[in-house]
Amino acid sequence: MSVSAPSSRLTRWLDRAAGPGVHAAWLAGCGFAVWTLIPLSPAGWAFALAALWPGLAGLLLAGRETRDWARVALALSWCLPGLSASVLFASALSPAALVFLAGPAALAAAAGGRAARLCAVLAACAFLLAAGFSLLGPPAGPVLPSGALTGFAALAAFFALTGLTARARTYARLNAARRELEALRPAAEGFAHAPAPLLALNPDGMITAASRAVRRAAPGAPRDLTGLPAGGLGFDQTQADALGAALTEARGGGGAEGGRFSFTVRGPRGRESVLAARAVATPAGFVVSLQEPAGTDAQTAARLAAERDAAVAASRAKSEFLAAVSHELRTPLNAIIGFSDVMKQRLFGPLPARYAEYGDLIHESGRHLLELIGDVLDMSKIEADRYELSTEVFDVRDVADICAKMMRLRATEQGVTLHLDAGDAPIHVCADRKALRQILLNLLSNAVKFTPDGGAVALLVRRENGALLLAVGDSGVGISADEISRLGQPYAQSQSGRESNERSSGLGLVLVRQLAALHGGTMQIDSEPGEGTTVSVRLPVLTNAAGEPADVEPLEVHQRIRAAQAAGEQIVRTSEGVA
């Protein structure tokens, strides 16, 4: 921000030269007039002296116009020409009385408003006095030619004009200064409200302005800092010395790291608080920026950590509560399912038709509820870090086969075909069999649930890049991209999920993701609305039959084999074509 100087060099010189200049001009003008009028009568000499005197007094008092006694002396001196002109030569009511105006005008130009106002009051009194004298008797008679008096009057009028011009110039300067102050106001307010603690210092290191944030950084400092030495903000004299050294460094240019220093101030409860400070030289002095104590960051971090711990503890308590409740619910539910199963199977004889139907419904609903509670229980166990994997070595194709069989009936009922592609070679894994079964069942049941009549679902089990790949694809309704991003949250469901009548808790995919994570694996959803969905789970659980980690064939080898196969097939096809 650059600020133009309030007045130019010429204006300042004119201001300084105005006082002596005006008085010298008056002296010269009057001296010339008197010289042309010589020889003079005694009364004429008396007037000449009275006329010359204020010019002489102005020159003698030059530079002291602002002192009260000098102002009074000048004002009185400037009343003399008017008074003597009207008393000695003419009536106060003649044109010569204009000389009275010369005083206030000259002083307005030379010594400022206060002197001019004082002189105007005295001149008005002198004029009234002279007017009173002229009423008492006829004037003493024209001692000087009337032309000379008119000349003095013209000189006085010139001075009046000069004085008024000077006043106008002063007002113009004042207005310009006011406008500049207004223009500076936003910058000043911006400085005061800056979020960082900032101090503006004059070249002597006195504070000229301070941003409000300084109070926060140095609460022990006085409320109004303006005019105080900046070093006084420090905790002791060494701080003032450090600041002085930094200011000197900043004045010398400082460089990129120059002007930096550590400033200890009175912090909260008068305790020492160390601030990182930096001084930068400006045309008006210096700006010192203070950085709030690192302790503030540490306190914030500690508070955030405490809040996070409390949130984690609350979440864990919720999960533990859910786990306990789910567990308690399972016991009576098992009784409901067991007894309704007995009724369903008519173990104790036939039931009336209506009761038989109700028994079947109780059994069906009980099973749904049990599945839901199972999901909630598993989820809460995982969230409470209480889910333990019991790993064993097995052929994952067996699990895939069982799951496909379990889902096939439901798929067929819905008019959906279910394919299983697990290859011919065994795929040994070291994993939690129950968890893998749950992963597959969750994915398959979602695929069947969201695939309309006539669609297809495929389960693919493969080795891929040294990991087990379980992928369930369907030709169903699909999921939009933004819904996919929300599906990571427990209990989140997409639009189609909310509209579906089937059992749904919004936990199925989250459980799959979490169970995969427990095995060190990942889950990925690829879907297009209306095109279908493929959920792939990759688990690093491959082993050989002995349970040792499987030798991972480098991808390169795979690619080479595939390339060789493709080349072989190409040759066979070509030779068949030729034959």
Residues in contact with ligand ADP by the rule CB under 6 A: 442, 446-447, 450, 474, 476-479, 487, 493-494, 496-497, 504-510, 533
State in angstroms the smallest separation of the CB of 361 from ligand ADP: 21
Half-sphere exposure of 441 (CA within 13 A, CB side): 16
CA-CA distance, 218 to 220, in Å (whole number)? Answer: 5
State in angstroms the smallest separation of the CB of 483 from ligand ADP: 7
| Of residues 97 and 507, the one with the C-beta less far from ligand ADP | 507
| Of residues 464 and 526, the one with the C-beta less far from ligand ADP | 526
CA-CA distance, 33 to 42, in Å (whole number)? Answer: 16
CB 301 within 8 A of CB 210: no
CB 132 within 8 A of CB 124: no
| Of residues 91 and 504, the one with the C-beta less far from ligand ADP | 504
- Strand duo 428-432 + 467-474: pairing: unpaired
State in angstroms the smallest separation of the CB of 479 from ligand ADP: 5
Neighbours of 154 (CB within 10 A): 13
Tell me how far CA of residue 121 lies from CA of 78, 160, 253, 261, 290, in angstroms.
11, 15, 56, 60, 56
State in angstroms the smallest separation of the CB of 449 from ligand ADP: 7
State in angstroms the smallest separation of the CB of 484 from ligand ADP: 8
Comparing every residue's Cβ against ligand ADP, the nearest one is 497
State in angstroms the smallest separation of the CB of 442 from ligand ADP: 6
| Of residues 148 and 418, the one with the C-beta less far from ligand ADP | 418
CA-CA distance, 182 to 361, in Å (whole number)? Answer: 84
Instruction: Tell me the three state secondary structure of residue 488.
Output: coil
Closest residue by Cα to residue 85 from 58, 49, 122? 49
State in angstroms the smallest separation of the CB of 198 from ligand ADP: 54
In the sheet with 198-201, reading across from the earlier edge strand, the strands are: 207-210, 198-201, 285-291, 272-282, 260-266
| Of residues 234 and 508, the one with the C-beta less far from ligand ADP | 508
CA-CA distance, 77 to 119, in Å (whole number)? Answer: 9
State in angstroms the smallest separation of the CB of 377 from ligand ADP: 14
DSSP secondary structure, 112-169, as one string: -HHHHHHHHHHHHHHHHHHHHHHHHS-----SS-HHHHHHHHHHHHHHHHHHHHHHHH
| Of residues 340 and 505, the one with the C-beta less far from ligand ADP | 505
Joined together, the tokens standing for residue 450 give 């969201």
| Of residues 7 and 504, the one with the C-beta less far from ligand ADP | 504
| Of residues 84 and 442, the one with the C-beta less far from ligand ADP | 442
